[in-house]
Amino acid sequence: MAASTLGSVCRPLQLGVPGLCRRRPGPRSMWARVLRFPGPAVTRRSVAATSGLGASGTDHYCLELLRKRDYESYLCSLLLPAESRSSAFALRAFNVELAQVKDSVSEKTIGLMRMQFWKKTVEEIYHDNPPHQPVAIELWKAVRRHNLTKRWLMKIIDEREKNLDDKAYRNIQELEHYAENTQSSLLYLTLEILGIKDVHADHAASHIGKAQGIVTCLRATPYHGSKRKVFLPMDICMQHGVSQEDFLRRTQDKNVRDVVYDIASQAHLHLKHARSFHKSVPVKAFPAFLQTVSLEDYLKKIQQVDFDIFHPSLQKKNTLLPLSLYIQSWRKRY
């Protein structure tokens, strides 16, 4: 989608969750219920003989990894049905393991070796022979329990592996392609965990995943800039006459904000498309899409600061996110 069709920076985005300010959660005890999110279902059954850890040990490892490294996904997973939670934790922990490879290695060769380990691990999981690694063991159990599609897992690894090159996206379509193969693939697998097979749910998952990938790229820009890296789509930067150095210097001029506006608008369009399927998507699929709450929150905030991607308010943790997620879940919306 050409960036030029996204409009000028002076036109406000039509953001916001309809009705959220008009309907207030009734019972005062809702705060207490949010603060007491249900924990993962811990089973006492032993893991396969190939594992040296008990089931509760591998469960707990995935839960803690997610809580520390991907708090938003941790909160969203807690609101899934009890029978799906442990598998969702395993899937998201698997994604965390892959995502942190890029930042934890100093040489691409080491990163490629780590990715090769996970490719081999997935192959072994589908041969019922997972390695002695807690995330692998929990993922194996999820695959057995829900018959997860191997292709989606391998797509995530392959795309993360390509992303080790540390190159900026050439255009918005390249960023969307990356998001489709990573974030959307995670959502397809989450739908499988929930037992959902529906073409409308898949379409919504595709758009939400792309929105997630775009917003993640925006949110990470200050962090990447601190490491002298910029990954924002080059075509949109060139269209507005903005260089990577402008972002590294944290330039505040209108052209830089125009770039951010165009990219944020693309994420908003994907959310809008995803919600256009709302009436056709099975209600059982809605918990898989709770991450739209944090996406909406970021897009609102960046609009409020006139698309200043380096504004300090964008780096603050949203302390009301647990409540917002609970309300969205209660209202059965995405």
Mean pLDDT over 212-222 rounds to: 97
Instruction: Summarize pLDDT for 5-22 with one digit per residue, the tens.
Output: 334 333 444 444 333 333
CA distances from 332 to 82, 200, 278, 289, 325 (A): 17, 16, 10, 10, 10
With a CB cutoff of 8 Å and minimum separation 6, the contacts of 287 are: 76, 79, 80, 81, 194, 329
Instruction: Summarize pLDDT for 59-105 with one digit per residue, the tens.
Output: 999 999 999 999 999 999 999 999 999 999 999 999 999 999 998 88
Mean pLDDT over 40-50 rounds to: 35
User: According to the model, what pLDDT value does residue 250 have?
Assistant: 94
Q: What's 45's DSSP letter?
A: S
CA distances from 174 to 101, 233, 267 (A): 21, 8, 14
Is a pLDDT exceeding 80 seen at residue 265? Answer: yes
d(CA 210, CA 16): 19
CA distances from 17 to 295, 296, 327 (A): 11, 8, 11
| 273/37: higher pLDDT | 273
Q: In degrees to the nearest 10, what's the CA dihedral of 128, 130, 136, 137? A: 70
3-state SS, residue 170: coil
Instruction: Summarize pLDDT for 315-326 with one digit per residue, the tens.
Output: 999 999 999 999
| 32/172: higher pLDDT | 172
Least confident of 23-27, 198-202, 218-222, 236-240: 23-27
